[in-house]
């Protein structure tokens, strides 16, 4: 018992030393952290103050040059708000043009899908050994099923394109890559992007 207690006394100073080292480490770390944070805030405060002074001087010069006053700015904000709201609702013709671009893309995809069974059938007749009749018959059956489905979708896409073309009073069908097509395709892409952003914003509000 005495030996065990004596051993405990031998280890006690080392325990105290380790405890002191840990305390000094975290004390220094806290001090260093707050010094770094204070330096960060002070530097950014100086930068922000400098920006405010510079922008205030620039704004004053612009107001003098254009003959504006502080009372004019709320009107500018209101005009910008109205302009941005109108961007959410395109004119009916522009909406129809975007739909026309979409059905043109759909038609292109359906034509490509239609070509697949056609090529498969041709390959079955030309590339397969004529003695293997069962294999030829199986390939042709699959190609026919695919062709029937693809043809129905292709016809539907053709009707939609023709309908949009009539509504827009377009003399010739737009060609993919043309100026009209590219312009409204870009608009359609932008609107889809904005729709995704709006959806993400709504989801973030729900999460918060």
pLDDT in tens, 176-190: 888 888 888 888 887
Q: Stretch 57-83: mean pLDDT, rounded?
A: 84
Asked if residue 181 lies in contact with residue 174, where contact means CB atoms within 8 angstroms, the answer is: yes
**pLDDT at residue 7, rounded to an integer:** 47
Express each pLDDT in 10-51 by its tens digit.
555 666 666 666 676 666 666 677 777 888 889 889 998 898
**pLDDT at residue 9, rounded to an integer:** 46
Q: Give the separation between CA 195 and CA 188, rounded to whole angstroms.
A: 11
Of residues 117 and 47, more confidence is placed in 47
Q: Phi and psi of 93, rounded to 5°?
A: -65, -40
User: Residue written as tokens 């893309």?
Assistant: 105
**pLDDT at residue 207, rounded to an integer:** 60
Whose CA is closest to 176, among 87, 90, 81, 111? 111
**pLDDT at residue 6, rounded to an integer:** 47
Highest mean pLDDT among 4-8, 116-120, 164-168, 189-193: 164-168
């Amino acid at each position: 018992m005495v030996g065990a207690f004596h051993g405990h006394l031998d280890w006690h100073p080392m325990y105290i030393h380790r405890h002191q080292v840990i305390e000094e480490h975290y004390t220094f770390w806290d001090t260093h952290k707050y010094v770094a944070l204070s330096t960060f805030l002070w530097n950014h405060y100086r930068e922000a103050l400098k920006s405010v002074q510079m922008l205030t001087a620039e704004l004053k010069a612009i107001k003098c040059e254009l003959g504006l006053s502080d009372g004019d700015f709320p009107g500018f904000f209101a005009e910008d708000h109205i302009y941005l709201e109108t961007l959410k609702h395109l004119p009916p013709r522009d909406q129809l043009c975007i739909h026309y671009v979409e059905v043109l893309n759909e038609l292109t995809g359906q034509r490509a899908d239609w070509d697949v069974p056609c090529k498969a059938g041709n390959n079955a007749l030309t590339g397969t050994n004529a003695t293997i009749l069962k294999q030829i018959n199986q390939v042709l059956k699959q190609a026919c099923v695919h062709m029937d489905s693809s043809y129905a979708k292709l016809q539907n896409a053709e009707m939609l394109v023709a309908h949009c073309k009539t509504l827009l009073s377009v003399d010739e069908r737009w060609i993919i890559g043309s100026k009209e097509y590219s312009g409204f395709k870009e608009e359609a892409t932008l609107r889809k992007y904005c729709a995704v952003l709006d959806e993400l914003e709504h989801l973030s509000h729900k999460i918060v």
